[in-house]
Homo-oligomer: A and B are copies of this chain.
Amino acid sequence: MTRQELFQNIIQKKSFLCVGLDPDIKKIPKFLLDFEDPIFEFNKRIIDATKDFCVSYKPNTAFYEALGEKGWESLRKTLEYIPKNIFTIADAKRGDIGNTSQLYAKAFFENLNADSLTIAPYMGEDSVKPFMYPGKFVIVLGLTSNPGAADFEMLYLQDGTQLFEKVLQKTCEWGTADNLMFVVGATRPQMLEKVRAIAPEHFLLIPGVGAQGGSLADVFKYGATSQAGLLINASRSIIYASTGNDFAEKAGEEAMKLQGEMEVLLRSKKLI
């Protein structure tokens, strides 16, 4: 999917919502355990209930790897099930070099056919560039929403920039807004000004709205571009909106609520 197509989907759905598909076998409703692949059954129902309100799905690979080869199969089936006009993010936070990166790229972009993959930048250029694939996006960790972001990401370098800014600057030399996005946490919306000074056009994947305390309005204020430029991720607040048999219905309601808030913001900026 191209950046332009992603923007068109945002316009059409009046939403820049990304739903995190992080199904924990211990948390999903008990009746699903009778199915051959409970994780896939859970995802299928969540997707059916939310697909009209979101433009992206983001499975975090940890939830699938924890179940071994069976989990990997659930991940593959989930990615196959997602409608083709919805942008898929394999949230794998991978990072390796040379041949090895190419194998990860093959695993996620070819075999699983994900539109994008999250990448940890610590190892530098030769751990990021091999993931720049025709028609795919690399989503590099920039400034994350967790407390540990203060340990390294926010450190000041000798030239006065913070490490996450240097990561953005360097990475922007290796790719363009057409094959590169960044993860920036919603818990620090003012930091989005710093991000936009370096990456004015790139889409940003923003976790941490809601559960982790970030405000959607603030994120939009500091981060939105003329193409929206934002994918706001919500996981638990949607997929576990109810832990009962009505989980899919409630997930749909939560997604619709967020879509409604996003529609107001998009109108306020005259994007729709």
Q: Which residues of A contact B (CB under 8 A)?
A: 22, 24, 60, 62-63, 65-70, 72-73, 76, 93-101, 103-104, 106-107, 111-112, 120-128, 141, 144, 146-153, 155-158, 163, 166-167, 170
CA distance A216 to B150 in the complex (A): 36
Please determine whether B153 and A62 come into contact, CB atoms closer than 8 angstroms.
no
Report copies per complex.
Answer: 2
Please determine whether B158 and A163 come into contact, CB atoms closer than 8 angstroms.
no
Chain B residue, CB-CB nearest to A149: B124
Q: Which of B70, B124, B146 contacts A153 (CB 8 A)?
A: B124
Contacts of A155 in B (CB 8 A): 157-158, 163, 166
Chain B residue, CB-CB nearest to A207: B97
CA distance A70 to B100 in the complex (A): 18
Q: Which of B69, B94, B125, B141 contacts A147 (CB 8 A)?
A: B125
Please determine whether A120 and B148 come into contact, CB atoms closer than 8 angstroms.
no
Provide a sorted-by-A list of 20 A–B residue pairs whose CB atoms are within 8 angstroms. A60-B96, A62-B101, A62-B103, A65-B103, A66-B106, A67-B107, A95-B95, A120-B120, A120-B123, A122-B153, A123-B144, A123-B148, A123-B152, A124-B148, A124-B151, A124-B152, A127-B148, A152-B166, A155-B158, A156-B157
Question: A108 → chain B, closest Cβ, in Å?
Answer: 8
Please determine whether A69 and B62 come into contact, CB atoms closer than 8 angstroms.
no
CA distance A112 to B69 in the complex (A): 11
CA distance A146 to B150 in the complex (A): 26
Q: Please indicate which of the listed interface residues A66, A112, A121 has the most CB atoms of chain B within 10 Å of its own CB.
A: A66
Please determine whether A107 and B158 come into contact, CB atoms closer than 8 angstroms.
no
CA distance A192 to B70 in the complex (A): 42
Please determine whether B65 and A107 come into contact, CB atoms closer than 8 angstroms.
yes
Q: Could you list 5 further interchain pairs (A-B, Cβ under 8 angstroms) beyond the known A62-B100, A122-B152, A124-B151? A: A65-B103, A95-B95, A121-B122, A126-B148, A127-B146
Q: Please indicate which of the listed interface residues A107, A146, A151, A157 has the most CB atoms of chain B within 10 Å of its own CB.
A: A151
Please determine whether B124 and A122 come into contact, CB atoms closer than 8 angstroms.
no
CA distance A239 to B128 in the complex (A): 26
Question: A122 → chain B, closest Cβ, in Å?
Answer: 5
Please determine whether B170 and A151 come into contact, CB atoms closer than 8 angstroms.
yes
Q: Which of B69, B96, B163, B167 contacts A93 (CB 8 A)?
A: B96
Question: A215 → chain B, closest Cβ, in Å?
Answer: 20
CA distance A211 to B156 in the complex (A): 35
Question: A160 → chain B, closest Cβ, in Å?
Answer: 8
